[in-house]
Structure 1
Amino acid sequence: MQPLIYDVAVSADGFISGPNADASRFPFEGPVVDDYRARLATYGTAIMGRATYEFGYGFGMKPGANPYDPMDCHVVSDGLDIPDDAVTITPRDSARTLIEHLKQEATAPLYICGGGTFAGWALDNGLIDEIRLKRAPILLGTGTPLFASVTFSPGTRLIDTKDYGEGTIYQAFRLT
């Protein structure tokens, strides 16, 4: 069985983006980003919500394109209408079944890409196995939280940490 991993940049005050999905204050180069890209190469499937998928449009991604090729890409949405292409759309009420199936059948770890709302739902449903945080020394004050509307509070165990200097830290936690 493969784990579902939430691998995301987060501000010191717990936001994965600022107002209007602004992520411009997070590092986009350097060793922390190089290590993130290396981890991306180990994932076989990307799963995200609609807002995270549509976020890619602002960077030139075309509707229906796979933002994480060669990974399989699944978008959980009830209303996203895109051309049949490289992305699988799954209705919200089928997301749990999809993730449980993928965990059983996948040959590489599953990656939750962004999305505090979707990640909060996945956490509440006990689907996330590991959280990998790229903690940036910035304060955003508002925006998209790491987890939105969470009622479930699992235990965590720190399994890895790396200090990149100047306040940027990577931490990985296994959920217990």
Structure 2
Amino acid sequence: MQPIIYDVAVSIDGYISGPGGDISKFAHEGPVVDDYFERMRHYAVAIMGRHTYEFGYRFGLEPGANPYKHMRTYVFSKGLKLPEGSDVTVVDAIDCTELQSLRRSASGPIYLCGGGSFAGTLLSAGLIDRVRLKRAPILLGGGTCLFDGATKPPAFAILQTRSYDNGYVFQEYEVKR
């Protein structure tokens, strides 16, 4: 069974984006970003919520296009409508059975790319196996929380930590059950 891994940049105050979805204060180049792209090569499936998928529209993503060409991509949303023949699969609801099936059928690790509410729901349901944080030396003061609405916070075990010259810290955690 493949793990679900939440791999995300986060501010010191716990936000994955600022007010209005602002990500401009996060690093967009350099070693921390290079390491992220290297990890991306090893994921087989991407999962996300509607707001994360639609966030890509700001950067030229066309409705129905797959933002991760080398991965099968699933968007979990009750209201998202995409064109016929889309390159992504829309799943109407967060269904633990559906996610377990996806974990069994995936050819490699599953990348949970966001967003905060989706991650909070999956964490509460016990469906996240690892958390990979790119901790940015910034304060956002509001926006999208790392685990918005998580109701059953588990324990975490640190697997690795790496510091970067630009003040970023990469941390990988195993979710304890």
Same fold (TM over 0.5): yes
TM-score of the aligned structures, taking structure 1 as reference length: 0.97
Percent identical across equivalent pairs? 53
TM-score of the aligned structures, taking structure 2 as reference length: 0.97
Q: Is the 8 A contact 2:47 2:114 kept in 1?
A: no
Gaps of at least 5 residues in structure 1 are: none
Q: Partner residue of 1:88?
A: 89
Q: Partner residue of 1:139?
A: 139
Q: Partner residue of 1:168?
A: 168
Please give the root-mean-square deviation of Cα atoms over the aligned residues, in Å: 0.8
Q: Partner residue of 2:111?
A: 111
Amino acid at match of 1:115: G
Amino acid at match of 1:88: T
Q: CA deviation at 1:167?
A: 2.1
SS in structure 1 of the partner of residue 6 of structure 2: strand
Gaps of at least 5 residues in structure 2 are: none
Q: Partner residue of 1:27?
A: 27
Q: CA deviation at 1:27?
A: 0.2
Residues 117-146 of structure 1: CA distance to partner in whole angstroms, max 9, x if unpaired? 000000010000000000000000000000
Q: CA deviation at 1:64?
A: 0.1
SS in structure 2 of the partner of residue 9 of structure 1: strand
Q: CA deviation at 1:106?
A: 1.2
Segments of 4+ moved more than 4 angstroms = none
Amino acid at match of 2:117: T
Amino acid at match of 2:55: F
Q: CA deviation at 1:114?
A: 2.0
